[in-house]
Structure formats: C-alpha cells, structure tokens
C-alpha cells in the first residue's frame, strides 16, 4: 500500500538532497488506494474539459449549454465555463484568453483555471492551441500531438498549487497524458487530419513573437513547435490529477524559415479559422471514446508519494484552499 511521504521519516541520499525512504504510519492516512478511489468515484459528474478559442464550443450536437461562474482561492479564471453535453458526455469549455481574447499569455491564471476545472468534476483536459512550426515537416494547418515541453518562461511560482505550508513534487518526466494523447491520435487519423505523433513544445513567455535569432536557435536544436500557454496548464493539471493532452494547431513557421513570411497575428487567425472544422471534428470523435470514469491512468494518481509535508502540520487554510485537489488524501 502506498502512502504519502512524510517529513521526519528516515532518509537516503538519491541525488536531489535527502528524501524520505520510509512512510509515515499515522493510521489516519492508512486508507487503501481502493478506498480512496471509491470515494473519488462516488462523485456523480466526470466531466471532460476543453481549453481553447472562444469559437471552439460551436460544435454540432453540443446541448444543454450553460455558462457557469466558478470562484477560486487563486483569483478569477479566464472566463466563465460553458458546460453541457456532447456525444453523451458532460463537458466544460473554457475560452483560454476570455471571450473577446482579453488576456495575454503571461496574464493567464493557470491555477484558477485548473482549480475550477477540478471543482467542476473535470478528470480529462484537451487543450487546443495555436503554435508556430519549428521544422519544415510541420505545415500550417497540421496538428502536432506533442509529448514534451521546454520551459522558457519565468512563471514557475504561478504553475503550482503548492507552497504555503505544503510541499509537493509531482513527477513530470512525461508531461502529457499518453493515454489521452493516443486517443486523440486515433481520432485525428479517423478524421483524415494531417497529424504528427509526438514533438517538443517550446513554451516562451511572449507576448511578442520570437526574434529571428531565437527562432533559428530553436529550429537548429530540433524542437518542434513554439507557443505561449500550455506548459502552465500541463503543470497545474498534473498536480490536480487531471489527464492533460495538447492538440497543437500549426498556424505559421515562426520566423526561422526565411523563404516564408514571418508570423503575424493576421496569419495566426487566418490559419486557426481554416483549421477550426478539423479541430471540432477530432473533439467530437474523441469525447465519447474517453473512459466514462477515471481509468487506471498514472495522471489520476499523480500526488501519491508526491507530498513531502507531514499531514499533521498541513496548514488549515492551505488545506481548505486545495480541498478539490487533496480531498481524496484526507
């Protein structure tokens, strides 16, 4: 049986300082994983979250639409959430930059967005995101189902729910949920989309696009796509034990490819509009194929053995703030 790692247990040096080698035997934590899973499964709603452009939710068959406001301890999410049913499944759409595209990438409140998703009973999140291509083989209007990130932001403190008296370190070697990514890959192929399997997403901060020197460097380093938004979402989703995958929609060649026009806002919008139908078709195909309840996917138990702080000293205020995320470990 796995339990939370605890401050004060015996330690062994394994590379990043002294880490606990044994588990705390407080009986309040001695619930079996099956018991915790049963408690989680008792929730009636298991929603699928979609984060993307504000027109993405205009999908045929999306019924019972209702805009829902969610208050969070981390401030306001990007917008209200549009809930409803699609292909027989409960879904929640979030316009990433707000309706009317009001929020810069560096202003996105990823903690609020993902906390609210968790509060709404979301267990899977599909991100649909505009990106620039860093390699010739990825053409505008192609889809890249990335499997890695490179962080070039200065936002790490805003990409975690933890701190304020509770320390946790989730595994992030594989930042994308592979099970969800494979479902998206199969759906994209069924819809005859120009889809690429795997790739590294360079997350820059923006809001300006890359300099040519930056873009050429990323190209020479063999990275695949570049964007401004998805890393923070993926980190917060992992901590919230939400399966997360990205549909990276190619809109341009950034500016490394000198025989092509460099990226502009007009170019991004034009190619996103061209590719909107494909994105909607893939979403409509994949949603009914996602498990009806959280499956035995590693992302759904990411906090097991990740919390370092002794349960006895968890601050009451922090526990209250993180209740949707931590409650199965109470």
Catalytic residues: 252, 254
Spatial distance between the Cα atoms of 54 and 155, rounded to a whole number of angstroms: 24
Contacts of 323 (CB under 8 A, 6+ apart): none
Strand partners, 51: 94, 127
Token pair in block for residue 6: 């605890």
- Structural contact between residues 97 and 207, judged by C-beta atoms closer than 8 angstroms: no
In sequence order, what DSSP letters do the residues of 209-270 get, joined into one string? ---HHHHHHHHHTT--EEESSHHHHHHHHHHTT-EEEEEEEEEE-TTT-TTSPPP-HHHHHH
Spatial distance between the Cα atoms of 302 and 241, rounded to a whole number of angstroms: 6
The residue to which tokens 């040096």 are assigned = 13
H or E element that contains 187 = helix 178-190
H or E element that contains 152 = strand 148-152
Alpha-carbon distance values, 147 to 79, 197, 244 (Å): 27, 8, 11
Contacts of 154 (CB under 8 A, 6+ apart): 205
φ and ψ at residue 279, rounded to 5 degrees: -60, -45
């Amino acid at each position: 049986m796995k339990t939370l790692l605890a401050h004060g247990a015996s330690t062994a040096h394994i590379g990043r300082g002294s880490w606990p080698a044994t588990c705390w035997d407080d009986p309040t934590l001695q619930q079996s994983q099956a018991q915790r899973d049963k408690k989680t499964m008792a929730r009636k709603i298991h929603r699928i979250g979609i984060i993307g452009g504000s027109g993405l939710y205009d999908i045929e068959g999306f019924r019972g639409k209702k805009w829902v406001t969610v208050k969070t301890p981390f401030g306001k999410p990007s917008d209200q959430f549009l809930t409803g049913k699609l292909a027989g499944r409960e879904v929640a759409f979030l316009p990433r930059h707000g309706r009317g595209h009001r929020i810069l990438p560096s202003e996105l409140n990823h903690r609020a967005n993902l906390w609210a998703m968790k509060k709404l009973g979301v267990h899977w999140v599909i991100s649909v995101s505009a990106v620039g291509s860093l390699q010739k083989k990825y053409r505008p209007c192609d889809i890249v189902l990335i499997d890695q990130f490179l962080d070039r932001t200065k936002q790490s403190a805003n990409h975690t729910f933890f701190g304020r008296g509770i320390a946790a370190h989730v595994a992030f070697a594989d930042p994308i949920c592979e099970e969800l990514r494979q479902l998206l890959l199969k759906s994209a192929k069924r819809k005859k989309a120009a889809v690429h399997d795997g790739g590294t997403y360079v997350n820059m901060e923006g809001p300006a696009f890359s300099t040519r020197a930056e873009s050429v460097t990323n190209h020479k380093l063999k990275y695949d796509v570049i964007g401004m938004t998805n890393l923070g979402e993926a980190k917060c989703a992992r901590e919230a034990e939400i399966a997360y995958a990205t549909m990276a929609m190619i809109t341009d060649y950034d500016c490394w490819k000198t025989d092509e026009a460099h990226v502009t806002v007009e170019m991004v919008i034009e190619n996103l509009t061209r590719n909107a139908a494909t994105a909607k078709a893939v979403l409509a195909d994949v949603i009914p194929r996602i498990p009806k309840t959280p499956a035995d996917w590693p992302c759904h138990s990411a906090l097991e053995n990740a919390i370092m702080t002794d349960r006895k000293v968890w601050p009451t205020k922090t526990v209250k703030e993180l209740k949707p995320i931590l409650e199965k470990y109470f």
